[in-house]
Amino acid sequence: MQAVPEETFRGALAGPAPRRPLTLAGGRGNLADRVYGYALLAMGMVIPVLLAFLLFRVGASALPAVREFGWGFLTSSEWNPVEGEFGALPFIFGTLASSLLAVLIAVPLAVGLAIFLTELAPRWVAAPVAFGTELLAAIPSVVYGLWGIFVLVPWLRSAVQEPLANALGDSIPLFRGPAYGVSILSAGVILAIMIVPFISAVSREVLAAVPRVQREGALALGATRWEMTWQVVLPYATPGIIGATILGLGRALGETMAVTMVIGNRPEIATSLFAPGYTMASVLANEFSEASTDLYLAALMEVALILFGITVVVNTFARLLVWRVARREGR
């Protein structure tokens, strides 16, 4: 990594003011500068403080459940509010399964779309298509959920689940079982639709940022357009695309409303894609407002804490992945 040359390069180019550390306590600088510095410091601190407070509050509220169930909370599949027995495993499973499925569906679609828009599409096609894709991100998730219930789920049931279950259900457990419509599959599909705009918009930026010389070089060496895209442009853009994917995955993990409406909300771990599941965000949305006992509330808080933890782990992992890929590529 070459932070210093990059900085000078950038400075030579655009000519921004040299970056000088603001002295807060020192005597240098006039009053306006100091006020400015403190004001910015305060703004910069708001988010970390908020995060710490959030973590503290959720953690403190979850404490009774942590004490009561210990590590068993992570491995138990029992969720019985009447008996006061709680385990989060089905929710963890449902969250991960639906989000991974969504990413599996969304990434090829979004990256394909991004390649089409940057490499192939004429401008009069690219602009409206890009605008339309980005518009998808503006639709509130409850609208996706309603559309999911009334359009997507019945269609998936009759056009996808039933034929697949009849044809392959006996041999592949993934496609087994009665087709209710609401399922992990439905949740994955609706999440995929919701995260495509994020992944494709960022991928588009990344692809557009691949230097012209790279493309020209490949073409000059006799590469076809396909070879240029596949062997030159995509490898160059890989870290960025991974970043885009993680952005999408992060949204999928936390998405609540639309998933709740189509996943079937059954705290069970099933091997079939057609079986209902349950996610952490959904159980929080569903049960928090009516949770009456302290232990019940604490268990829900612990679910929130785990969701928080999983997103942190996913993001850290993604960060490492981007870093490794970037290093392997020699940048």
Partner 1 sequence: MLRRPRREEPGFSSTGPAFRRPGRRTRGARVTRKWTPRYRTVTARLYVSASFNHNSLMGDILTMKRFRTGTLALALASGLAACGGGEGGSGEGATPGGMAKGAAAPGGTVALTGAGATFPYPIYSKWFDSYGRANPVRVTYGSIGSGGGIRQVTEGTVDFGASDAPMNDEELAKAPGMLHIPTVLGAVTVAYNLPGVQQPIRLSGDVLSDVFLGRITKWNDPRIAGLNPGAALPARDILVVYRTDGSGTTYVFTDYLSAVSPAWKQQVGVGKSVKWPTGLGAKGNEGVAGQVKQTEGAVGYVELAYARQTGLQTASVQNRAGQFVQPSVAATTAAAEGLAARLGAGSDFRVSIVNPAGAAAYPIASWTYLLVPPQIGDCAKARALVDVVRWGMGAQGDAQASELHYAPLPADVERLVLARLSTVTCGPDRQPVAAAAG
Site for partner 1 in 2-31 (CB under 8 A): 2-3, 5-6, 9-10, 12-14
Q: Angle of helix 294-328 relative to helix 31-69, nearest 10 degrees? A: 120
Q: How far apart are CA 100 and CA 195, in angstroms?
A: 12
Q: Which of 165, 193, 210, 307 binds partner 1 (CB under 8 A)?
A: 210
Q: Which of 181, 199, 249, 301 binds partner 1 (CB under 8 A)?
A: 181
Binding to partner 1, residues 283-302 (CB under 8 A) = 285-293
Cβ atoms of 90 and 268 closer than 8 Å: yes
Q: How far apart are CA 20 and CA 11, in angstroms?
A: 13
| 212 in contact with partner 1 (CB under 8 A) | yes
Binding to partner 1, residues 310-329 (CB under 8 A) = 319, 322-323, 326, 329
Count the site residues for partner 1 by CB under 8 A: 85
For residues 140 and 163, which CB has a smaller minimum distance to partner 1 in the complex? 140
Q: How far apart are CA 110 and CA 201, in angstroms?
A: 8
For residues 29 and 81, which CB has a smaller minimum distance to partner 1 in the complex? 81
Binding to partner 1, residues 141-170 (CB under 8 A) = 141-143, 149-150, 153-154
Closest distance of CB 31 from partner 1, Å = 29
For residues 12 and 31, which CB has a smaller minimum distance to partner 1 in the complex? 12
Alpha helices in the chain, H assignment, sequence order: 3-14, 31-69, 72-75, 89-115, 123-136, 141-147, 153-155, 162-168, 184-208, 212-220, 225-227, 234-254, 257-262, 280-287, 294-328
Contacts of 80-86 with C-beta under 8 Å, sequence gap 24+, read: 81/287, 81/291, 81/293, 81/296, 84/293, 84/295, 84/296, 86/295, 86/296, 86/299, 86/302
DSSP 200: H
15: left (phi over 0), alpha (psi -120 to 50) or beta: left
Binding to partner 1, residues 84-123 (CB under 8 A) = 123
Which residue stretch of 93-101, 108-116, 166-174, 241-249 sits at the interface with partner 1 (rule: CB under 8 A)? 241-249
For residues 46 and 213, which CB has a smaller minimum distance to partner 1 in the complex? 213
Closest distance of CB 294 from partner 1, Å = 9
Query: Maximum CA pair distance of the chain?
Result: 79
Q: Which of 19, 21, 83, 226 binds partner 1 (CB under 8 A)?
A: 83
For residues 73 and 79, which CB has a smaller minimum distance to partner 1 in the complex? 79
Q: Which of 87, 177, 188, 239 binds partner 1 (CB under 8 A)?
A: 239
Q: Which of 79, 91, 175, 274 binds partner 1 (CB under 8 A)?
A: 79
Q: Which of 80, 166, 224, 271 binds partner 1 (CB under 8 A)?
A: 80
Q: Which two tokens stand for residue 68?
A: 């009561």
Cβ atoms of 202 and 107 closer than 8 Å: no
Binding to partner 1, residues 27-66 (CB under 8 A) = none
Q: Angle of helix 89-115 relative to helix 280-287, nearest 10 degrees? A: 120
For residues 35 and 320, which CB has a smaller minimum distance to partner 1 in the complex? 320
Binding to partner 1, residues 126-145 (CB under 8 A) = 130-131, 134-135, 137-143
Helix (H, G, I), strand (E, B) or coil at 85: strand
Binding to partner 1, residues 265-284 (CB under 8 A) = 265-267, 276, 278, 282
